[in-house]
Structure 1
Amino acid sequence: MKIAQAHLLVNDQDAAKAFYTEVLGLEVETDFASGDFRWLSLRAPGPDGGASLVLGRAEGAGLAYQQEVRAAGMPVFAMTLTGGTEEFEQIRVRGAEVVSEPQQQQYGGTDALIDDTVGNLICLHQD
């Protein structure tokens, strides 16, 4: 068994699409709209891009939850960087707002936090 999709609540789907594709380098898998409904999913490039990241609108209780998680300083998910420090710096140059600079963790690896511009904190992890 493996994870096929993970859902992420965002304040603005267009801004999220821009951030996740232009800054983090994900690729659009599906972008389908019908009336008020929009299914927007992304994945990492390549044949083994992993699970799809579905970007859904943060509304009502979902928005309240998103705001509480953010206020607590908790990342909504982590991405493992395969290109080391250089990859982190490229993400910064492409416009990521770094909330927490890379720091060595007691459990091993190095983590940094970035703001996705649409309501969430993302952990960038390096083994």
Structure 2
Amino acid sequence: MKITQALLLVNDQDAAKRFYTEVVGLEVETDYQGEGFRWLSLKAPGPDGGASLVLSAAAGAASAWQAEQRESGLPAFSFTIADDAEFEAIRARGARVIMEPTRQQYGGTDALIDDTVGNIICLHQD
């Protein structure tokens, strides 16, 4: 078994698409608009980009849950990045840093960024 998709609630799918492609560097996998819904999924570049990140519009209770998670300071999602250079490239493309890269007691280094669409995202280095 393997995880193939992870859902991320966003308060604006167009803004999320711009942030995750232009700032983080993901690529659009699927952008399908149907009657009353949009399926928007992204992947990391390369032949094995890992699981798809599905950007789902937050509404109602989902929107309230997203706001609670953000207010509590919990990241909604974590990306593993290679090194400080990758972090600095993401920052240079416009990411607003909430927490600078910080060595963690459990191992690795984490930085937190604001994804501009309602979430805190962790950039983790092993």
Q: Considering the TM-score relative to the shorter chain, is it more than 0.5?
A: yes
For 2:118 and 2:36, how far apart are their aligned partners in 1? 20
Deviation track 1:10-61 (CA, whole Å, cap 9, x = no partner) reads: 0000000000000000000000002321000000011100000000000000
Residue 96 of structure 1: how far off its partner (Å): 0.2
Q: Which amino acid aligns with 1:26?
A: L
For 1:92 and 1:36, how far apart are their aligned partners in 2? 34
Identical counterparts, % of pairs? 71
Q: CA RMSD in A?
A: 0.6
- In structure 1, runs of 5+ residues without a counterpart are none
**What TM-score results when the alignment is normalised by the length of structure 1?**
0.98
For 2:30 and 2:56, how far apart are their aligned partners in 1? 12
Q: Which runs of 4+ in 1 moved over 3 A?
A: none
Residue 20 of structure 2 corresponds to residue 24 of structure 1: no
Structure 2 equivalent of residue 7 of structure 1 = 7
For 2:13 and 2:78, how far apart are their aligned partners in 1? 20
**What TM-score results when the alignment is normalised by the length of structure 2?**
0.98
